[in-house]
Amino acid sequence: MKSRILFLLFCCFGAVTLMAQTPSLTVQGILKKADGSAVPDDTYTVRFALFDAEMGGNEVWFEQLTDVETIGGVYSVVLGTHGKTLNAPFNQDYYLSVKIGNSSQELLPRPRLTPAPYALSLVGAEAAGIRVGGQNVFNATNAEITMAKHVHITGSKTMSFTGPLNFLWNGGTTQFGTFTNQPISLETDNLIKTDGVFAVSDRRIKKDIAASDAAGDLSRIMRLKVTNYKYKDVFGKGNTWKKGFIAQEVEEIVPNAVYTDTGIIPDIYALAQNTRLEAGALHLTMEKPHDLKVGDKVRIMAGDHQEDLPVTAVASANGFSLGNWNHGTPEKVFVYGREVKDFHSVDYDHLFTLNISATQELARRVEELEKENAAAKAENAELRRLIEGIRADVGALRGQQR
């Protein structure tokens, strides 16, 4: 077949995670003949290869597929899933070569891979990175991930919370009884460290503006109890002393600074003594009573897997079964704890703003006391002057009597 490949549409991405065993690369494109028309709808043998240069260069990896189906010339294939491992290191820029059958013709210069496939360099690596335009912009090790470029998160997940809830929305603290079906772009399990946060706070986007009751804010701040504590989850949170608040205590004093949501508490936090898998159900036996009931959801950790699974049966005070486990019989299972519907969280932004209001009230009171003190000092000075005058007059009278 005399044909010339014109690769008019090219997009690819790495369908891979850090735990994946078979890295893969999806390639989509259009095959056309020399006259510019699409190749007939059929199944073709196509040779795909990765080179380190747009023209010439070294072939780093190739795979020949004999069953590439085209419709209107359009094809879509997943490289690395047909018996040949996609083992290119992905630590440099690569260019894609496409040839039909045994043809020597290919599109030159070859199209460069887009940044996404370089995530393949993370598979099984102790350290890896993503290069864009010859520059490392993403580096990962077993300890951390660093990025050298601006990160813009466009995706989101719809989430709901029950109130009372306060959150920064366009720079203002807004209160909701419920927070329903809102897009959340970033969620973390632990603290966020940053040099600063910019929040939109333009007066023109706000309404019903009123001064806070500073005296009341001070009264509430004075009633809050700062507490020293440690986390039960010593593996995830560490075993060092923390200083902060207990949400349930804060709720009694500043209810708008606390919201409740569904969350997992570490109330079991122990290794299962016995583990058995049967018909998709994971049967666990604990050393101590678990106090679970059918319908509860429990977080477990086994190997590389963390799952929140429903309790399908309670065999005894120490034994229970979980459904929907699809990973084979685990060697060890760590039971973290159960899901609760009233997981309390403190809005520290609310308390921070409350503290500013209270501090301003203290400053106002100090200013008043300073004014009163200055007036008292002036009055005392006047009294001293009068007393000195009286003493002088008394001394003069005594002198006349002599």
Q: Name the residue ranges covered by the structural domains of the chain.
A: 11-146, 270-346
What is the DSSP code (8-state) at residue 268? Answer: S
Burial 364-397, CB ≥16 within 10 A → b, else e? eeeeeeeeeeeeeeeeeeeeeeeeeeeeeeeeee
Q: Which CATH number, 3.40.50, 1.10.150, 2.40.10, 2.40.30, labels domain 270-346?
A: 2.40.10
The count of residues in the chain is 402
Q: Could you tell me the pTM of the whole model? A: 0.53
Residues 6+ apart with CB under 8 A from 187: 157, 159
pLDDT tens digits for the chain (402 residues)? 333 444 433 334 333 333 334 577 888 887 877 777 788 889 999 999 999 888 889 999 999 999 899 887 888 888 888 888 888 877 778 888 988 877 777 877 788 876 555 444 444 455 555 656 566 677 766 667 787 778 888 888 887 765 444 454 444 444 444 566 778 888 777 778 887 777 767 888 888 989 999 999 999 999 999 999 999 998 888 889 999 999 999 999 999 999 888 999 999 999 999 999 998 899 999 999 999 999 999 999 998 888 999 999 999 999 999 999 988 889 899 999 999 999 999 988 899 999 999 999 999 999 999 999 999 999 999 999 999 999 988 888 888 876
Residues 6+ apart with CB under 8 A from 54: 95, 108, 109, 110, 112
3-state secondary structure 171-194: CEEEEEEEEEEEEECCCCCCCCCC
Cβ-in-10-Å burial (0-12, 13-18, 19+) of 345 comes to middle
Q: Which CATH number, 2.40.50, 1.10.3470, 1.10.287, 2.60.40, labels domain 11-146?
A: 2.60.40
